[in-house]
Amino acid sequence: MAMGPSDGTPGLGGTKGLFSPVSVDRISEVIVEQVRLLIREGKLVPGDRLPSERSLCEQFGVSRVTVREALRVLEASGLVEIRVGARGGAFVIQPSSERVGKGLAELMTLASMTAGDVTEARMVFELGILPLVVERATEEDIADLRALVEQGLSALESGSYTMAMSAAFHVRVASAAHNPAIEMLVQTFHGPMLMSLQQAHVAAPLMGPRGAHEHFELVEAIEQRDLERARGIMTRHLQRTADRLANYSDPRLENPGGEE
């Protein structure tokens, strides 16, 4: 008999008469908010499993549809991961820098930003963190960077160099600053960058032997803790990227085709 939210018991037991806001809208949103809060408070930590959908229905006093919509939102927000089958369910996950950056990249792609905007912001940031990187890079960081350079060089020879490889290098450099916020942001920058460049099929021209060699030199400078040299190399490297990008008529990211 489909009791709607109009009768006395809208589902969330105990809300008789003392609603806090005006919110009568969207029960699923209330559920989302509750779970979000539990996660933020640490009552739910990554790895924890939420009750099954059917169980949540009972606890919240709502139908399965509503619970499922809430779970969809939580999943889309990157807070939980849903697995099917027995012992499945919604598991709280650790929002990794990678995951976060990816979601943001999606939105940046759609925002009103030009490739030039992104490049400019990138220059500010990647140059700004160099002091930190030069100061804090560990041997492991440098070893990883060397490996990436090697990998890049051989890929370049075989003609299989991709923008993703360049992005990986820059992100790894940033991670040597040993600051999660910085790492995430650099990662974020490369998302929309990649999309734009790959769609325009300009990966190869952007990264010639010269670029690869600059990567090599940069690692060297970092290893020698030579900030000025590192800064010089990075400036040249990014500036060249910016210049080449400009030659592609600076297409808006959300419309890689360009139409002028």
Contacts with DNA, residue ranges (CB under 7 A) = 1-6, 11, 24-28, 52-55, 61-66, 68-69, 71, 82-90
Selection from 183, 184, 145, 179 nearest residue 165 by Cα: 145
User: Which of helix, strand or coil describes residue 80?
Assistant: strand
Binding partner of 127, given a copy of itself, DNA, none, CB within 5-8 angstroms per partner class: a copy of itself
Strand partners, 90: 82
DSSP sequence for 46-93: TT-BPPPHHHHHHHHT--HHHHHHHHHHHHHTTSEEEE-STT-EEEE-
Strand partners, 82: 90
Q: Which of 120, 135, 150, 243 binds a copy of itself (CB under 8 A)?
A: 120
Asked if 231 interacts with a copy of itself (CB under 8 A), we say: no
What end-to-end distance do the CA atoms of the chain give, in Å?
Answer: 60
Asked if 185 interacts with a copy of itself (CB under 8 A), we say: yes
Q: Which residue has the tokens 């960077």?
A: 145
Contacts with a copy of itself in 19-58 (CB under 8 A)? 28, 36, 39-40, 42
Residue 174 Cβ, how far from DNA at the closest point, in Å?
A: 34
Strand partners, 49: 91
Q: 24 vs 147, which CB is nearer to DNA?
A: 24
Where do contacts with a copy of itself occur on this chain (CB under 8 A)?
28, 36, 39-40, 42, 65, 68-69, 72-73, 75-79, 94-97, 99-100, 103-104, 106-113, 117-118, 120-121, 124-125, 127-129, 132, 179-182, 184-185, 189, 254-255
